[in-house]
Structure 1
Amino acid sequence: MKTVTQVAVLAVLGAAGAGWHYYGEQVGLPPPMELIGLRSNTSQAATGGGGGAAGPVSVIVQPVRVGQVVDRVESVGTVRAREAVTITTKVAGIVEAIRFSEGQRVEAGATLVQLDAAALRAELDQARALLDDARSQLQRGRQLQAGATIAAQRLETLEALARQAEGRVRQAEARLEELRVTAPFSGRVGLRQVSPGALIQPGTVITTLDDTAKVRVEFSVPEVHLARIRVGSSVTARSSAYEGRRFQGTVAVIDTRIDPATRSVRVISEFDNADEALRPGLFLTVEMVLEERERALLVAEEAIDPVGDRAYVYVVRDGRARRQEVRLGLRLPGEVEIRQGVNAGEPVVVRGVQRLRNDLPVRVTESVSRPTS
């Protein structure tokens, strides 16, 4: 029965100690052991009774420094050509000549494939001859009209015949042009899919054409970052194919919709690609800058005293450790950004935090300018 009573007392003391750690220390209440008169003389000597015989606690401090903080999000993306098309033909015909080499860079309007046009050329020549004849008759008719030796109706007929001949010529020229397959924009052609002499049908794939002087990289970002995504934000990409190389680009387009399955938004960035190292389909790891803060407040990571979902630091003021709640920002290697709670240059304790409590006298033995770990 005595043992049960002792256990109960210890449990009560433990609960009281935890409550003091969360709340009592903030308002300067003494520990629960002192309240019930059970604090030992040894404990009083260790803490100095708030600055007694044992003296202040020795600590190492670091001033809150001002530095640049860059908030990034990482994703994976795929390279796409700025412009990409599959080259086909609109009409049936026999391949007369192939005027490109695989992998060649071509200019807009350049002839890629010429289909056999012998029959159409003959048709065009005939149409042009008919047009010349119609124009000659019309011209003679107009000259005779001045002498009233030709009826007005006959003149109208000659004009109609001339217009019909012009239409046949334009039609033959258009059909002849369809037999010449051209590049719709400047770019680099891919592998050839046809051979000279082959009979091809409308829609037959001839090759591909990609404009890779500037490429697009598509990736997705979680919707929680949507408010901080901006067109023009910096994007850095890297690939296992190019060890150590980083490609720089910017955000060009942000999708207007959120993917309901992944709860993410699609982002398209553009990269200059003068050496064409980035090829369509290449897999990239992408980092996008969400926010940059030039004058962020930073403290050493070991200065943070976490309690539940809160965080505290000890600021040395007037020779005493003042326990200050802070709001944390980004975590950097060895440092943590403080968004609220301290000011630039204030000395915070980075060594000896575990021995401190609010308003305890301290003695600064060293002040460091950078994280101590």
Structure 2
Amino acid sequence: MESLSKFKLALPLLFVAVLSACGNEEKAKEEEKYAIPVETTTVIQGDVSSFYSTTATLEAPLEANVVTRISGLIESINVEEGDRVTKGQLLAVIDAKRQRYDLARSQAEVEIIQQELNRLKKMSNKEFISADSMAKLEYNLQAAIAKRDLAALQVEESMVRSPIEGVVAKRFVKQGNMAKEFDDLFYVVNQDELYGIVHLPEIQLNSLRLGQDAQLFANKQTDNSIDAKVLRISPIVDPQSGTFKVTLSVPNQDAKLKAGMFTRVELRYDTHTNVITVPYNAVVNQDNQFALYVIDGENASRREVTLGYREADTVEVTAGIEPGEQIVIRGHQNLKDQSLVEVISELDVARAQQ
């Protein structure tokens, strides 16, 4: 009787186990038949360059601190910050009444001495004229002319002019202020071309050459680059930092860059032409082993590859794949070797995103 009750209890359990096993088999079959949607692209050939990334500080090669040469009251200011000026353009005027009086007095002294010399030279009886007197007058005339020219220079220096072409970056004085000799009045900078100052480790010294291409990125949030070139390479290495100075020539005609900015720089060392290239986001990196998923019929095969140069979102493949093959660029995170896949076109992806 007891064995009969055990049999009745085991029979339902057996049915449950059988049904569970059948369910697992059906589920496994469904998983096997489920195709993973992926997006693919064709392996092509192209050019890829090698870069060294670092940062650079931008400097203006032409800049000038405009100072006073004479003391005086600022009568007028003709420019403001942000104004573009040409070389020799009038920036400000300093009161020069005292200097003009000195110029007039010096000019009068020159004329008096010249008249005296002319009078003596016209005398018919030269015996009454001593050679020492004539020489003294000649020396006095030269000294008076020098004094007059100095006074004229001070009058001219009351007209403050720009020594270079550029933009007024700073104005340090106001109209009506009293300016002392050598006080700063304006800071003028020319930013049509900028210098990018880069400090590279000593190991990179042999990889650089004059005229080498570089790319600058002023904004970390954008991929827009500015072409630059290596202008100067310092022949010495700083013993404290182990770096050497490199100066880049950066065109800036559109004035998008400003002196003092920090930028990201990529120096182009070498370029491999006509090599196999793939999107970098298609590469699977697992334990420093790189692989791509290649479309093989209805399946995706995992294939290990060897990488070369990387430039932005493109990477060179030196071994493991051939041009013309189809590789997975989206959806490969869910793949395994020989996974069943369904290739979705870019049009299907765009429609799904709408």
**Equivalent in the alignment of 1:286:** 265
1:131 pairs, out of 110, 132, 135, with 110
Deviations 1:263-288 (A, max 9, x none): 33322211221121111122211111
Q: Following TM superposition, by how much is the alpha carbon of 1:297 offset from its aligned partner in structure 2, in angstroms?
A: 6.8
Aligned to 2:123, what secondary structure does the other structure show?
helix
Residue equivalent to 1:174:
153
Q: Which runs of 4+ in 1 moved over 6 A?
A: 297-301, 308-311
Could you tell me which amino acid in structure 2 is paired with residue 175 of structure 1? Answer: Q
Q: Residues of 2 paired with 1:165 and 1:145: CA distance? A: 27
Report the counterpart of residue 80 of structure 1 in structure 2: 59
The aligned counterpart of 1:238 is 217
Q: Tell me, yes or no, if structure 1 residue 183 matches structure 2 residue 175.
A: no
Q: CA deviation at 1:155?
A: 2.4
CA displacement at 1:119 relative to structure 2: 0.7
Q: How far is the alpha carbon of 1:216 from its aligned partner?
A: 1.3
SS at the partner of 2:101?
Answer: helix
Q: Is the aligned partner of 1:202 residue 2:172?
A: no
Q: CA deviation at 1:218?
A: 1.6
Matches within 5 A, 1:98-117: 98-117=77-96
Q: Do structure 1's residue 224 and structure 2's residue 203 form an aligned pair?
A: yes
**Contact 2:54–2:265 (8 Å) recurs in 1:** yes
Taking structure 2 as the reference length, the TM-score comes to 0.65
Verify: 1:214 aligned to 2:193, yes or no. Answer: yes
Deviation for aligned residue 1:85: 2.6
Give 1:160's aligned residue: 139
Paired residue secondary structure (2:199)? strand
**Cα distance in 2, alignment partners of residues 241 and 92 from structure 1:** 48
Describe the shift of the 1:205–1:167 C-alpha distance in structure 2 as closer, same or farther (beyond 3 A): closer
Distance 1:168 1:144 in 2: 28
Is contact 1:145–1:151 with CA below 8 Å preserved after alignment? no
Q: Structure 1 residues 242-251 or 286-295, which shifts more?
A: 242-251
The answer on 1:93 being equivalent to 2:72 is yes
Conservation of the 8 A alpha-carbon contact between 1:300 and 1:370 = no
Distance across 2 between alignment mates of 1:265 and 1:214: 22
Aligned to 1:257, the other structure's residue is in SS state coil
Cα 1:337–1:222 change in 2 (3 A) is farther
Contact 2:277/2:314 (CA < 8 Å) preserved in 1? Answer: no
Q: Give yes or no for the alignment of 1:249 onto 2:211.
A: no
* Cα drift, residue 195 of structure 1: 1.3
Secondary structure, counterpart of 1:195 in structure 2: coil
Aligned length: 276
Identity %: 22
C-alpha distance 329-226 of structure 1, shift in aligned 2 (>3 A): farther
Shift of 1:94: 1.9
Write out per-residue CA displacement over residues 216-251 of structure 1, whole angstroms, 9 at most, x where no aligned residue. 122233332221111111121122288453211111
- Alpha-carbon spacing, 1:144–1:236, altered in 2? closer, same or farther (3 Å): same
Show the 5 A alignment for 1:1-373: 67-144=46-123, 148-240=127-219, 243-296=222-275, 329-331=308-310, 335-338=315-318, 368-369=324-325
Q: Secondary structure at the match of 1:256?
A: coil
The 1:263–1:327 alpha-carbon spacing in structure 2 relative to 1, beyond 3 Å, is farther
Name the CA distance, whole Å, in 2 between partners of 1:108 and 1:156. Answer: 43
- The alignment's TM-score, normalised by the length of structure 1, stands at 0.62
Residues 228 and 275 from structure 1, CA distance in 2 versus in 1: closer, same or farther, beyond 3 angstroms? same
- Conserved 8 A contact 1:186-1:211: yes
- Provide structure 2 residue ranges, at least 5 long, that are not aligned to the other structure: 1-42, 291-304, 330-354
Provide the C-alpha distance between the structure 1 equivalents of 2:190 and 2:68, rounded to a whole number of angstroms: 20
Counterpart CA distance in 1 for 2:92 and 2:279 is 67
> How much has 1:260 moved relative to structure 2?
3.8
Judged with a 3 Å threshold, the aligned counterparts in structure 2 of structure 1 residues 273 and 145 are, in CA distance, closer, same or farther, namely: farther
Q: 1:240 to 1:220 in 2, by over 3 A?
A: same
Judged with a 3 Å threshold, the aligned counterparts in structure 2 of structure 1 residues 155 and 293 are, in CA distance, closer, same or farther, namely same
1:349–1:174 Cα change, 3 Å: closer
User: Which has the higher mean CA deviation after the structures are superposed, 212-221 or 150-159?
Assistant: 150-159
Q: Distance in 1 between matches of 2:172 and 2:314?
A: 57
